[in-house]
Structure 1
Amino acid sequence: MNKILRLLLAALLSACWAAVAVARPASATLASGYVLTSSAVTLPAELSALATGRRIQYLSTSITGAATTATGLVLTPRTGKNNRVVAWAHGTTGLADQCAPSANQAVFWPEARIAVAELLSRGWTVAATDYPGLGTAGAHPYLVGASEARAIIDSVKAARNLDAALSTQYVIDGHSQGGQGALFANQIASSYDGNLVLRGTSAIAPVSNTDVIVPYIPGTPEQGYLVMALYGLNAVDPGVQPLSVLAAPAKAKLPVLATGCLNEILLAYRDLTAEQLVVGGVVPDAVLAKFAQYDNPAQTAPSAPILIVQGTADTAVPYDVTAGVLVPQLQAYSQPVRFEAIQDATHDTSVIESADLVADWIATRFA
């Protein structure tokens, strides 16, 4: 189904929900986590022996509280199921619908498969959101933490709506974009997750302090992330206009956002100079302030213990920002924060090398 048809369907669904809300008392309206569709799915080979999977479309809420939809996977262990739930929050895949991991195994990254396989091997059901706008109508609010957080928590609600035997206890495990979203989810859990009980959050190489990082991105091989992040802001704040920030050579490459996913986007923008990426080679202070507003976790208190994992050789999320800035920010609150540095690990290998460590930590949280 193409984007136009999805937009029409979304509009029709919104009209139907509005009609239902008029016809029934507010308490009877569809709640976040409500499963709209559910179908069996073929999992990557690394996971198919461990779990059965269903691809779902479910209700979530936007950062304004409006109804929105998201897709994702619910993975159920074939053996040893113990009714606990772990929400897996994936790293960056792209902005377009074809970049939804639940529908495109090519962007269900190898490191994510290893991490999820370890979770399944412990008997935990895994709820893995795509986030809004990846596989559903509307733009993807990339790196907007409050959007990711709601979709993550609502994926757990959706999993429980499919399987009433699942416990109300859950843990969140995320990488990169997902690590950032996991931290935001921890911040809102006590007011948003209803009768669920968040036991802890693991965040591997989480994006943070974007206003500190962004000024150094133009002219580097990582600058495709910045282009995506500008459009992520624009999805929730029309005051951020990417076309006024990007230079002409960068604008010429914008079609890749619709036709490609992460690797194609990074490749397209890799060799531009700073001046070819953004006007004057510098991201405006007003835009940096928006990054800080929407993308930076640790602005409010977490509600459950936190594990932070960071590779020392990470070039996408700098080690010094995580270790030297984010961790102290989190430690200023009352919840316990454990920090684990993975020596010489990159952005992706930190996930692989910490899979056992993270799962062991989650097990202690459930215990």
Structure 2
Amino acid sequence: MKNESRGASAGARASIWRLLIVVAVACAVTALTPSAPASGGPADHTTRGTVISVEALEHGLVLTRASGGRVFEYTTTGADGRPATSLGSLYLPKGKAPAGGWPVLSYGHGTAGLSDDVVSYTGWAGDGNTGDAYLSRWLDAGFAVAATEYVGIGTPGVHPYLNTRSEGAAMIDVVRAARSLDHRLSNVWVANGYSQGGHATLAAAALATEYAPELVLAGASAGGVPAGVADELAMVRPDVAVNPAPDLTVYTAYVLAGFRAARPDHPMDSYLSGRGRNLLDSAERLGYHDMLAEVGRTAPAQMVRRPLAEGTLLDAVRRHLGVPTRGYSSPVQIYQQSLDVVSPAPFSALLAQQMRANGVRVTYRMYHSPQGHAGWDGPLTDVIAFARAAVARAE
């Protein structure tokens, strides 16, 4: 992904890896309790995915391999189950649509930030042509691309980062909205994303049958899934001041700020130091690179005045961002980098185990890029092959 790649030193990575394995094993008994699919909320499905406004994208923002691009605002479901809006973009392959229409890729971008300034229309704002190259591969494979920006990024409110319900709904409703804009799009779709996008992909896949029965989800492919966030937060306490990677502080700030946006009723301030409160406020307005500069050498421990594992916080966080382990009616592919210290392998492996125990058709693939979490594009050939085979079975 775009900017989720700065790693620790080799020694720090090894230490984090050993610790995370212990944590994952220790959490296995409670984690194997199946989580339910996220509820889509009470909004009528005939109103979700309604296009509010649409305009053509400037030429310089259109993907190289697309015949054109449009950006639109559409209705969806927020973190509280109430109606909300999101921005989305639509790109069509060049040439004539096949009989039955182009299958749709619902694409979930990775972490960029919480503010309106990170709107990108291709998922990787400010990162050269990496988003273009990634999504152009999908266009060349015959997929129309519908990409959500998620609730609160470019639309009212603070983005409730990693909220399962709103991410999943936004991924589904962008397909509905895109199909209303162009009749050449099929009702068959696939979901794909990496890191935050992987989280959103699984949220959408678990919700799809209940939330959008008129659409046919052929399959979902999720990479670098942040499956153990609450368990990682359980290690944040004021007496452990190690900060092997500034990314960890940035993610901690984004996760807590996103949770605060979704659950303003929770007494978050009782956990935070003055520095922590300042960083959560910064997280609402700064994109990833600016947050790295803002964080500097601040360790996650310096953000808190008592352990995050105390009290009711982590139970509430799990409800906010838990990855569903049941409810999937389509095949799922989870892919993981072995050296990833941002979304570590023990947690995604445990997730796949939970899903299989609940009867989900899940394939788990491990890759070995030295870039760790930044090796998001290496598996793309396998991911597209999985998607094309899933579409062939569904059509």
Q: TM-score, normalised by structure 2?
A: 0.79
Counterpart amino acid of 1:206? V
Deviations 1:26-68 (A, max 9, x none): 98x9611111111111366792243411011011122444221
1:61-80 Cα deviation digits (max 9, x unpaired)? 22444221100111111236
Equivalent pair of 2:326/2:360 in contact (CA under 8 Å): no
1:310 and 2:329 aligned: no
Once the two structures are TM-superposed, the CA of residue 249 in structure 1 deviates from its matched residue by: 2.1
Normalised TM-score (structure 1): 0.85
Deviation at 1:258, TM superposition (A): 4.3
* CA spacing shift, 1:292–1:90, aligned 2, 3 Å: same
Of 154, 158, 162, 2:173 maps to 154
Contact 2:254–2:280 (CA under 8 A) maintained in structure 1:
no
| Counterpart residue number, 2:35 | none
- What does residue 139 of structure 1 align with? 158
Q: Where in structure 2 are the equivalents of 1:349-364 lying within 5 Å? A: 349-364=374-389
Tell me, in whole angstroms, the C-alpha distance in 2 between the residues paired with 1:231 and 1:154. 24
Instruction: Work out the CA distance in 2 between the residues paired with 1:147 and 1:316.
Output: 22
Query: Is 1:301 aligned with 2:327?
Result: yes
Shift of 1:285: 4.4
* Distance change >3 Å, CA 266–CA 245, structure 1 → 2: farther
What are the within-5 Å matches in structure 2 for residues 223-262 of structure 1?
A: 223-262=249-288
Bigger shift: 73-82 or 250-259? 250-259
Contact 1:61 1:69 (8 Å CA) reproduced: yes
Q: For 1:333, which of 333, 352, 358 is the aligned residue?
A: 358
Distance 1:149 1:211, change over 3 A: same
Deviation at 1:277, TM superposition (A): 1.4
Unaligned 5+ runs, structure 2: 1-42
Q: CA RMSD in A?
A: 2.5
Q: Do 2:236 and 2:307's aligned partners in 1 also have CA atoms closer than 8 Å?
A: no
Q: Which runs of 5 or more residues in structure 1 are unaligned?
A: 1-25
Structure 1 counterpart of 2:83: 67
Aligned to 2:376, the other structure's residue is in SS state helix
- Rate the CA distance shift 1:283–1:274 in 2: closer, same or farther, 3 A: farther
- Higher mean C-alpha displacement, 75-84 vs 128-137: 75-84
Q: What amino acid is the match of 1:200? A: G
Aligned partners of 2:310, 2:67: CA distance in 1, in Å? 47
Query: What residue number does 2:391 align with?
Result: 366
Whichever residue aligns with residue 357 of structure 2, its letter is A
1:32 partner letter: R
SS of residue matched to 2:110: coil
- Residue of structure 2 aligned with 1:33, choices 49, 53, 67: 49
Distance verdict in 2 for CA 1:288–1:315, change over 3 Å: same
Q: What's the secondary structure of 1:200's corresponding residue?
A: strand
After TM superposition, the structure 1 stretch with the greater mean CA deviation from structure 2, 158-167 or 278-287, is 278-287
Which amino acid is 1:85 matched to? V
SS at the partner of 2:234?
helix
| More contact order relative to length (CA 8 Å, sep ≥ 6) | 2
Distance 2:62 2:373 in 1: 17
The answer to whether the 8 A contact 1:179-1:204 is kept is yes
Count residues with an aligned counterpart.
340
Q: What's the counterpart of residue 319 of structure 1?
A: 345
Residues in 2 aligned to 1:47 and 1:344: alpha-carbon distance in whole angstroms: 26
2:303 alignment partner, one of 269, 277, 283: 277
Question: Contact 1:114 / 1:355 at 8 angstroms: preserved in 2?
Answer: no
Query: For residues 199 and 258 of structure 1, what CA distance do their matches in structure 2 show?
Result: 35
Q: Is this contact kept in 1: 2:119–2:125, CA < 8 A?
A: no
- Partner Cα separation in structure 2 for residue 310 and residue 277 of structure 1: 29
| 1:107-134 per-position Cα deviation (integer Å, ceiling 9, x unaligned) | 5675443321211111210100000100
Cα deviation digits, residues 319-359 of structure 1 (max 9, x gap) = 22112x11111111223111111113545543210111111
Distance, in Å, in 2 between the alignment partners of 1:70 and 1:350 is 28
One-letter amino acid of the counterpart of residue 320, structure 1: P
Matched, 1:205 2:231: no
> In the alignment, which of 88, 91, 112 is matched to residue 110 of structure 2?
91
| TM-superposed deviation, 1:313 | 1.4
**C-alpha contact (below 8 Å) 2:73/2:85 kept by paired residues:** yes
Q: State the shift of 1:165 in Å.
A: 2.2
Deviations 1:219-244 (A, max 9, x none): 43211111111121122222334433
Report the residue type matching 1:239 in the other structure: D
Task: Flag the 1:64–1:275 CA change in 2: closer, same or farther, 3 A.
Answer: closer
**Structure (1/2) with the larger helix percentage:** 1
Secondary structure, aligned partner of 1:153: helix
Does the CA-based 8 Å contact 1:35-1:58 persist in structure 2?
yes
Deviations 1:137-158 (A, max 9, x none): 0111111011100000000001
Work out the percentage of aligned pairs sharing the same amino acid: 27
What per-residue deviation string (whole Å, max 9, x for no partner) do you get for residues 264-287 of structure 1? 213322511344111135453421
2:187 aligned residue: 168
Give the match's secondary structure for 1:178. helix
Q: Which amino acid aligns with 2:384?
A: A
Q: Tell me the residue number matched to 2:10.
A: none
SS at 1:74's partner residue?
Answer: strand
Q: How does 1:76-115 map to 2 (within 5 A)?
A: 76-79=92-95, 81-82=97-98, 83-102=102-121, 106-107=125-126, 111-115=130-134
User: Which of the numbers 261, 265, 281 marks the counterpart of 2:291?
Assistant: 265
Indicate the SS of the match to 2:385.
Answer: helix
Letter aligned with residue 250 of structure 1: G
Whichever residue aligns with residue 54 of structure 2, its letter is: S
